[in-house]
Copies of this chain bind each other. A is one copy, B any other.
Amino acid sequence: MAISYMELALEEAKIAADLGEVPVGAVIVSAEGRLLAQAGNRIVTQSDPTAHAEILAIRAAALVLGSERLTGCDLYVTLEPCTMCAGALSFARVRRLYFGCADPKGGGVEHGACFFDQPTCHHAPEVYGGIEDVAAAKLLKEFFRARR
């Protein structure tokens, strides 16, 4: 199940790349296994520095549920979330985070701020990294190679 939701997240990442966005995609699934939201990066296309795939998916899922808390929900994302998105995941009370490839330069889960390990983090999801990481990394590498 983890693989198929991550494949959907990878599809969102590909759409983002086609729009000239860094290819990252995210999917949110409810506690009952319902697909609540899927999104890709829209930072440039929406002129919004906060429009990371995770933030857009969280906002959409919260709207669907009519609640600012996504209790019991799981988030799949193709890249290790940055510090901003790790904070949003915590506020949203996401249950499990499944991510693709690690991000040593910008990640905020296993790198840098390691936000979920901070005393100022009041809810931390379970974290499962390395899901479909080869495919996620390939998309990113191709994107940045084409831009050089």
Residues of A within 8 A of B (CB): 43-44, 46-51, 55, 58-59, 62-63, 65-70, 82-88, 90-93, 105-108, 111-115, 118-122
Contact = CB atoms under 8 A, between A and B. Distances in A.
A105 B120 contact: yes
Copies in the complex: 2
A12 to B, nearest CB: 18
Nearest to A65: B47
A120 B115 contact: no
Nearest to A111: B120
Given A48-B63, A62-B48, A83 B122 contact: no
A83 B49 contact: no
A92 B47 CA distance: 10
Given A105-B120, A120-B106, A68 B47 contact: yes
Contact of A68 (B48, B69, B108): B48
A112 B106 contact: no
